[in-house]
Amino acid sequence: MIEIKPGVENQESMWRLMEQLFPQYRALCGPDFAHSLDQLQDWLDLDIIEVPSRSAVGEWTVPDEFVVNEAWVEDSSGNRHLDFKTHPYHLWIYSRPFDGIVDKEELLKKIDVMPHLPSAIPLRQTYYRDDWGFCASVEDVERLPDGPFKVKIDTELNSGALRIGEFYLPGESEQEILIDSYLCHPHGANDNLSGVAVTIELFRLLSQLPNRRLSYRLAIWPETIGPIAWINTQPDKLAKLIGGFEISICGDSSPLTYIESFYGNGITDRAVRHVAEHLGDQVRMQKYLHFKNGSNQGHFNMPGIRLPYGRIARSGAGTESYPEYHSSADDLGVVRPEHLQNTLNFLWEVILTIDRARIWRPTYSGTPFLSGHGVYPYQHAIGRGETNSNDFAQTYYELMGSVDGTLDLLEIADRCDLPIGLFDEAVGKFHEAGLIDLVS
């Protein structure tokens, strides 16, 4: 039986990590992303992979590191507006330098707002376009006087590296499950420090397991370009993957959501459905659509790769279910420690389900005499004329009659509608008695 369970200490740990990383300004590549990975190494001994700027990764190119020195708009009276120092969301991420005079009409074309949140500043970026711009609250724009305005954007695009934080836990098998989250959003609490906090804590727990069937790898990277760079520079690791999960936007009060892999029938999908059915949590199941689910998960579901790679989240990436999405309103007030804990609990059970899904074969033909092997479930009210036997007793019978070297334990558990964790005792007893062997 697996005794390790997430507890209140994990909840407190995740919240401390959220508070530590929230104030930092991070982009796809840059000094604060590197600094954040350095801080994460105090929580987990990450290996840092660096892919040089301007490297070709498939059809993509690794961007330069982005540095902001100053950015602001100044009116004719010398008053500053949309100052990066006031809030970094005022400047588009990867905005190109600009220094000039513009009239109000021209300036307004370069300002994005969020009408549904008039007090919030949007988060916008221009990663792969040579452009510049600002963001403002509706209230900020309403306070702008007539022009002209002096615009100053002093940014740098420097040669450097894209960085990925990795943590690897070996198991009995070299087959791997990859868990990922992204760290590139500056000041994004729910999107996506919540995912980073949950995955870091998950691997702190996984490292305590005395035995792991599969190997597990954590990747903390910038969104989209991170997994693309990893897929194209780490082919040996990719070849060992049998599936994985993106963990993101998972600290708000929305119900847990699972976005299936492309085919919807992989080990990840089956494990999530099993836990959702037996754990009692409300989980929204969604089909995979690349238009809606094209974040990190999408790159592992693309043609030529097609891994069973799912996504566990709460809100979706959009303002309908998550009004604070990509805005300054996505602060620590959106995330609650108990929702982080609930996400961690669910993910933990999913991982344990996958790890239990071994394939066993019988060493017997026909019906074995369990009492003669010392494994008959007398302790579960069987064999004494009693009628109040429990689910544990049933697992002995289902295991005895179902193991055939082709079905994994998750398939057996689903066939009889029992939680896979209930089989731990029976599997242990049968294996110890030499009644079943593992299929490699």
Dist CA 347 CA 281 (whole Å): 12
- Euclidean distance between CA atoms 20 and 13, whole angstroms: 11
Domain contains 184:
yes
pLDDT number for residue 318: 66
User: For the whole model, what pTM was predicted?
Assistant: 0.95
Q: 309 and 246 in contact (C-beta within 8 Å)?
A: yes
Per-residue burial over 122-143, b if 16 or more Cβ lie within 10 Å, else e, is bbbbebeeeebbbbbbbebbee
How much of the chain, in percent, has pLDDT values that exceed 90?
Answer: 91
Helix (H, G, I), strand (E, B) or coil at 382: coil
The verdict on residue 182 lying in a domain is: yes
Helix then strand count (H, E) for the chain reads 14, 18
Q: Do residue 236 and residue 346 come from a single domain?
A: yes
Is residue 238 domain-shared with residue 380, that is, in the same domain?
Answer: no
Does the N-terminal peptide bond of residue 10 adopt cis geometry, omega within 30 degrees of 0? no
Instruction: Check pLDDT > 80 for residue 2.
Output: no
Measured between its terminal Cα atoms, the distance across the chain in Å is 22
Q: Is residue 1 part of a domain?
A: no
Q: List Cβ neighbours of 311 (8 Å cut-off, separation of 6 or more).
A: 245, 246, 247, 248, 258, 259, 293, 295, 296, 297
User: For 205, how many CA atoms within 13 A lie in the half-sphere containing its CB?
Assistant: 26
pLDDT of residue 387 exceeding 80, the answer is: no
The pLDDT confidence band at residue 1, using thresholds 50, 70 and 90, is low
Distance in angstroms (rounded) separating the CA atoms of residues 148 and 153 = 16
Say which DSSP state 191 is in: I
Residue 88 above 60 pLDDT? yes
Q: Is residue 345 part of a domain?
A: yes
Asked whether residue 348 falls in the same domain as residue 234, the answer is yes
- Averaged confidence pLDDT in the chain: 95
pLDDT digits (tens, 9 = 90+) for 262-273: 999 999 999 999
> Which two structure tokens, joined as six digits, stand for 298?
């999408």
Q: Please name the residue ranges forming H helices in 133-221.
A: 138-142, 194-206
| Domain stops at, among 326, 356, 386 | 356
Residue 120 lies in a domain: yes
| Tally of domains within the chain | 3
CATH number at residue 88: 3.50.30.90
> pLDDT band at residue 282, thresholds of 50, 70 and 90?
confident
Does 388 have pLDDT greater than 70? no
Q: Which residue, among 78, 64, 53, has the nearest Cα to 27 in the 3D structure?
A: 64
pLDDT value at residue 319: 61
The pLDDT tens digits of the residues spanning 159-217 come to 999 999 999 999 999 999 999 999 999 999 999 999 999 999 999 999 999 999 999 99
Task: Determine the residue type at 380.
Answer: H
Is 375 within 8 Å of 396 (Cβ atoms)? yes
Residue 230: half-sphere exposure toward Cβ, Cα within 13 Å: 30
CA torsion, ordered 396, 398, 399, 402, to nearest 10 deg: 160
Supply the pLDDT for residue 186.
93
The verdict on 262 and 153 lying in the same domain is no
3-state secondary structure of 60: strand
**Angle subtended by helix axes 8-21 and 194-206, to nearest 10:** 140
pLDDT reading at 100 higher than 90: yes
CATH number (domain holding residue 318): 3.40.630.10
Residues 166 and 184 in one domain: yes
Statement: residue 137 has pLDDT above 80: yes
Tokens representing 309 are 């790679």
Mean pLDDT lowest among 59-63, 119-123, 214-218, 386-390: 386-390
Residues 59 and 75 in one domain: no
pLDDT of residue 280: 73
- Provide the residue range defining the domain that includes 377: 360-438
Print burial letters for 237-271: b (CB count within 10 Å at least 16), e (below 16): bbebbbbbbbbbbbbbebebbbbbbbebebbbbbb
pLDDT of residue 333: 96
In this structure, the answer to whether residues 202 and 273 fall within a common structural domain is: yes
Structure confidence at residue 384 (pLDDT): 64
Among the candidates 356, 371, 392, a domain finishes at 356
Q: Is residue 255 part of a domain?
A: yes
Q: Is 228 within 8 Å of 236 (Cβ atoms)?
A: no
Query: Could you tell me which residues come within 8 angstroms of residue 75 by beta carbon, excluding any fewer than 6 positions away?
Result: 81, 144, 145, 147, 149
Ramachandran region of residue 275, left (φ > 0), alpha (ψ -120 to 50) or beta? alpha
Say if residues 316 and 255 touch (Cβ distance below 8 Å). Answer: no
The lowest-confidence range among 29-43, 386-400, 406-420 is: 386-400
Is 90 exceeded by the pLDDT of residue 385?
no
Dihedral over alpha carbons 288, 292, 295, 300 (to 10 degrees): 30
| The dihedral sign for the CA sequence 366, 372, 375, 380 | positive
pLDDT class of 241 with cuts at 50, 70, 90: very high
Tokens 């990840």 locate to 268
User: What's the average model confidence in pLDDT over 246-272?
Assistant: 96
197 and 325 in a single domain? The answer is yes
Is 3 part of any domain? no
Beta bridge partners of 154: 70
Q: Based on the fold, state whether residues 315 and 174 are members of the same structural domain.
A: yes
pLDDT tens string 138-149: 999 999 999 899
Q: Which of 333, 356, 379 is the last residue of a domain?
A: 356
Question: With bands split at pLDDT 50, 70 and 90, how would you rate the model's confidence at 39?
Answer: very high
**Domain shared by 178 and 288, yes or no:** yes
In a domain? residue 128: yes
- For the cut 60, the answer to whether the pLDDT of residue 386 exceeds it is no
Asked if residue 316 lies in contact with residue 322, where contact means CB atoms within 8 angstroms, the answer is yes
Asked if 63 and 127 touch (Cβ cutoff 8 Å), the reply is yes
- The residue-averaged pLDDT of 430-436 equals 98
Residue 131 and residue 26 in one domain: no
335 and 384, same domain (yes or no): no
